[in-house]
Amino acid sequence: MSSDFPAYAPSEEHELLRRTVRELADAKIAPHAAEVDEESRFPQEALDALVQNDLHAVHVPEQYGGAGADALATVIVIEEVARACASSSLIPAVNKLGTVPVLLSGADELKKKYLTPVARGEAMFSYALSEADAGSDAAGMKTRAVRDGDHWVLNGAKMWITNAGVSEYYTVMAVTDPGKGARGISAFVVEKSDEGVSFAPKERKLGIKGSPTRQVILENVRIPADRIIGGEGTGFKTALATLDHTRITIAAQALGIAQGALDYALGYVKERRQFGKPIADFQGVQFMLADMAMRLEGARQLTYHAAIKSERAFHGETIPDLTFVSSACKALASDVAMDVTTDAVQLLGGYGYTREFPVERMMRDAKITQIYEGTNQIQRMVIARQLLK
């Protein structure tokens, strides 16, 4: 076989990483998952374990003190953490989401200043794009940034911000030129400690309860001018480019949730006996399991394929179908996760509907993957536009 054969499958190093993360997640993260969900508390045990093993932000390049892991390795980390606890998987996923705008468009000094502490595990990085009246229509945002000498002054409120209040840093999109629409939006780094930054109470959610979701409120937040990410007016372009890379991490999260549910259901049906034999012996159950596994593996292959394209794009290669494959894997994997977790609940019967068993939590957690980082209806619009170009 030629050595330049395209690497569409994970390498031995990727599979070793998977085993390492799975062992860590099973030992240090899974035992706390139910309690984290029940108490709606941040999974500090997961953060500590991930930081200790340098798995909290594996995507950060080596020159900033990071592991320099490729996009596929990052996907595998998120997938394996999500298999144990979806809330905990948002630590590596959102660290990537928050930092990708800086990696794509930030000045070298900005990268050094903010990526280094993230790589060391001293800070987390969130992403603030959405607003109460600007969700799918993100370009309709109202948050303003006004230049004042060597500073920018930000005013507004950002909605649905993952890990808000826990993260030290925030990529914030704000309007700098109201007359230019999307071309009048710029991106900035805001720090939690900046005067005028505050957080609304935590949202009470259906799932991912261990990951705090809060409004970030900006009241006359004055930041140095060099905290702009890229040129003035390039923020929305950066936001869209970011999502091409990070929708893949949501697909990874969805894969992990689905795999966790399938694994639990497989164990259960082999043990549960009815009519004198394990329910795994019944063809109706076997067909459900086969469909769950087939669809999950199909979504996984598309996600890994998208991750490899994302990595090539990060290294400067032009990938014409990156938007298509990233939207497709996010929509497919999240739809599959919802179906697989729902079927897992069904396979456990009445037990599946109780909190004594993890599949009901996984079903609740799966739902958000169809909604955030672009609803699956928006993904289908994006996919269709790519096809009709």
Q: Write out the catalytic residue numbers.
A: 373
Task: Report the largest interatomic distance among the alpha carbons of the chain, rounded to a whole angstrom.
Answer: 79
Q: Is the dihedral of CA 169, 86, 10, 321 positive or negative?
A: negative
Q: What is the 3-state secondary structure (H, E, C) of the chain?
A: CCCCCCCCCCCHHHHHHHHHHHHHHHHHHHHHHHHHHHHCCCCHHHHHHHHHCCCCCCCCCHHHCCCCCCHHHHHHHHHHHHHHCHHHHHHHHHHHHHHHHHHHHCCHHHHHHHHHHHHHCCCCEEEECCECCECCCHHHCCCEEEEECCEEEEEEEEEEEECCCCCCEEEEEEECCHHHHHHHEEEEEEECCCCCEEECCCCCCCCCCCCCEEEEEEEEEEEEHHHEECCCCCHHHHHHHHHHHHHHHHHHHHHHHHHHHHHHHHHHHHHCEECCEEHHHCHHHHHHHHHHHHHHHHHHHHHHHHHHHHHHHHCCCCCCCHHHHHHHHHHHHHHHHHHHHHHHHHHHHHHHHCCCCCHHHHHHHHHHHCCCCCCHHHHHHHHHHHHHC
CB-side neighbour CA atoms (13 Å) of 220 = 0
Q: Are 229 and 352 in contact (CB under 8 A)?
A: no
In angstroms, rounded to a whole number, what is the distance separating the alpha carbons of residues 375 and 354? 28
